[in-house]
Structure 1
């Protein structure tokens, strides 16, 4: 990642960990706009954007199934929350199926966030954590809890049958749940997770991960589907603009 771009992330507390993957920040303190690329990673994101030229803009970004190019304006700050699948029902209380590969603008003052909250990322995360804790008004359905835990623990490699059997929930009902709340079936969501979790191997130069794929040709096909690049091209972190790869240690 170019030196002008600053990347930061924090993990949620234990109460929110089933619903939130991370809080993150991208800051461009330079005088130049920066081009950045992102790839599907299975997250649903809340964006909180602020710059010297623009007021606060808050948006909810649905699940993405394709790579995207974007511009980070000069002297701008983008704080975000990467939500897991259960957050849609239990934190947002609204489906994101209609904003698949899209986003919607949220009202100013969402979660009580104002301009002063952009001065301190840790305080921003704490404020949002309190807000999200207040949204947890319904106990998690045990079936959905088991389903979610297995999906993330296996990094998307568990089959639909394995997930259905472990959760004691039929595959038809699970797919109905995914299509209703996310806009894609379970298999597609797991494929995205396998794709994004392969970044760890790619970052070390390993062009075929040790887990999650039975053969290399299937892996290459999946990488091309979601990035339009080969594993080798993706591993090279072309132009130092790939956010997910650049932020990995």
Structure 2
């Protein structure tokens, strides 16, 4: 990550952990715009952006299946929540299938967040947490909870059949759920998680993880699919492409 970019993250409360991976903040306090690249990571992101041009802009970003390049303007702040798969149904009460690889603008005032709240990360996290807790009016379907827990616990290294068996939910129903709410089948989502979690080994200079892949050819193919780079190129990349790891540092 470029020296000028500052990253902060916070884990959610226990009540929200089934739905939110982390709250995060990226700042560019410099006088120069910074180019940032992101890769698919399995997260649905709720963005709150502030700059001289946009005092407050809120957007919801769906799952991504390809690498993207963007610009972080000078003296700007981007705060957000990285949402898990169950958040679409239980926190947002809306599918994000239509914004796969896309985003929509959310009206200002969402969750009671105002421009001034973006300058205090703690205040931002507290207000957004309180809002989301107020949205939890429906108990989680135990099949969906079991499914979600297995996906994240195994970091995507589990078959659809095994998930269906453990969750007592048919593979067809699970894929129907994913297609309706998220816009892609479960296997594709698990592939994205495996891609994301391979970053840990890449950051340590290991070009082939010990778990999660049938062989090195399979691993290389998956890395190139989502990054358009080989594992070696990705590990040696000098353009700070690991921006999406802010929630894990």
Spell out, residue by residue over 1:18-58, the C-alpha distance to the aligned partner (whole angstroms, 9 max, x if none).
Answer: 00000011100011000000000000000000012322000
How far is 1:237 from its partner?
Answer: 3.3
How far is 1:238 from its partner?
Answer: 2.5
Separation in 2 of the partners of 1:81 and 1:74?
Answer: 22
Separation in 2 of the partners of 1:114 and 1:132?
Answer: 16
Residues 1:212 and 2:212 aligned together: yes
Spell out, residue by residue over 1:173-199, the C-alpha distance to the aligned partner (whole angstroms, 9 max, x if none).
Answer: 000000000000000000000000111
- Map 1:68-87 onto structure 2 (within 5 A): 68-87=68-87
Specify whether residues 73 and 156 from structure 1 end up closer, same or farther in structure 2 by C-alpha distance, changes over 3 A only.
same
Q: Is 2:28–2:74's contact at 8 Å kept on the other side of the alignment?
A: yes
Spell out, residue by residue over 1:143-200, the C-alpha distance to the aligned partner (whole angstroms, 9 max, x if none).
Answer: 0000000000000001000000000000000000000000000000000000001111
Q: Tell me the secondary structure at the aligned position of residue 161 of structure 1.
A: helix
Which residue of structure 2 aligns with residue 118 of structure 1?
A: 118
Q: Tell me the secondary structure at the aligned position of residue 125 of structure 2.
A: helix
Which residue of structure 1 aligns with residue 32 of structure 2?
A: 32
Q: Is 2:48–2:58's contact at 8 Å kept on the other side of the alignment?
A: yes
Which residue of structure 2 aligns with residue 164 of structure 1?
A: 164
How far is 1:242 from its partner?
Answer: 3.1
Which residue of structure 2 aligns with residue 16 of structure 1?
A: 16
Q: Tell me the secondary structure at the aligned position of residue 234 of structure 1.
A: helix
How far is 1:247 from its partner?
Answer: 6.8
Which residue of structure 1 aligns with residue 59 of structure 2?
A: 59
Specify whether residues 246 and 11 from structure 1 end up closer, same or farther in structure 2 by C-alpha distance, changes over 3 A only.
closer
Q: Tell me the secondary structure at the aligned position of residue 240 of structure 1.
A: coil
Separation in 1 of the partners of 2:142 and 2:247?
Answer: 33
Specify whether residues 17 and 228 from structure 1 end up closer, same or farther in structure 2 by C-alpha distance, changes over 3 A only.
same
Specify whether residues 191 and 138 from structure 1 end up closer, same or farther in structure 2 by C-alpha distance, changes over 3 A only.
same
How far is 1:246 from its partner?
Answer: 6.9
Q: Is 2:45–2:60's contact at 8 Å kept on the other side of the alignment?
A: yes
Q: Tell me the secondary structure at the aligned position of residue 239 of structure 1.
A: coil
Spell out, residue by residue over 1:125-144, the C-alpha distance to the aligned partner (whole angstroms, 9 max, x if none).
Answer: 01100000000010000000
TM-score (norm. length: structure 2): 0.98
Separation in 2 of the partners of 1:55 and 1:80?
Answer: 15
Q: Is 1:33–1:73's contact at 8 Å kept on the other side of the alignment?
A: yes
Which residue of structure 1 aligns with residue 107 of structure 2?
A: 107
**How many pairs align?**
249
Q: Tell me the secondary structure at the aligned position of residue 80 of structure 1.
A: strand
Q: Tell me the secondary structure at the aligned position of residue 85 of structure 1.
A: coil
Separation in 2 of the partners of 1:224 and 1:127?
Answer: 39
